[in-house]
Amino acid sequence: ALSEELVFNEAGRLVNGNLKKYKATRASEMPKIKIDFVEGIEPTGPYGAKSISECATVPVAPAVFTAVCDALGRELYRYPVKI
């Protein structure tokens, strides 16, 4: 999340708009994520089931944002955070 960036030139055109120029995080660069499953019934889900696919990725952006706020010692109110 912290290594990706969209770069624009002075005219406002995207400079790194393809996969060759855009630096995305590689699998080998990803931190280890520990996921714990909490069993329970979800009354609104089919047969009491809950969703699970996005559980580990959704909190990443808010966690990074909160870490930046804590490091700066102040609240920020806009994305993207650029220091």
Closest CA to 81 of 12, 4, 15: 4
CA-based angle 82:67:56, to the nearest 5? 105
pTM over 0.75: no
Length of the chain: 83
Quick one: pLDDT at residue 35? 75
Predicted confidence (pLDDT) per residue in 26-77, tens digit: 778 777 877 777 778 888 888 888 777 666 667 777 888 888 899 999 998 8
Place of tokens 């990725």: 57
Tokens at residue 68, please? 């930046």
Q: What is the pLDDT of residue 49?
A: 83
If you average pLDDT over residues 12-24, what whole number do you get?
Answer: 83
pLDDT grade, residue 2 (50/70/90)? low
Residue 43 in tokens: 């009354």
Q: What share of the chain is helix, strand, coil (3-state, %, to 5)?
A: 25, 0, 75
Instruction: Provide the pLDDT for residue 73.
Output: 94
> Distance between CA atoms of 62 and 79, rounded to whole angstroms?
10
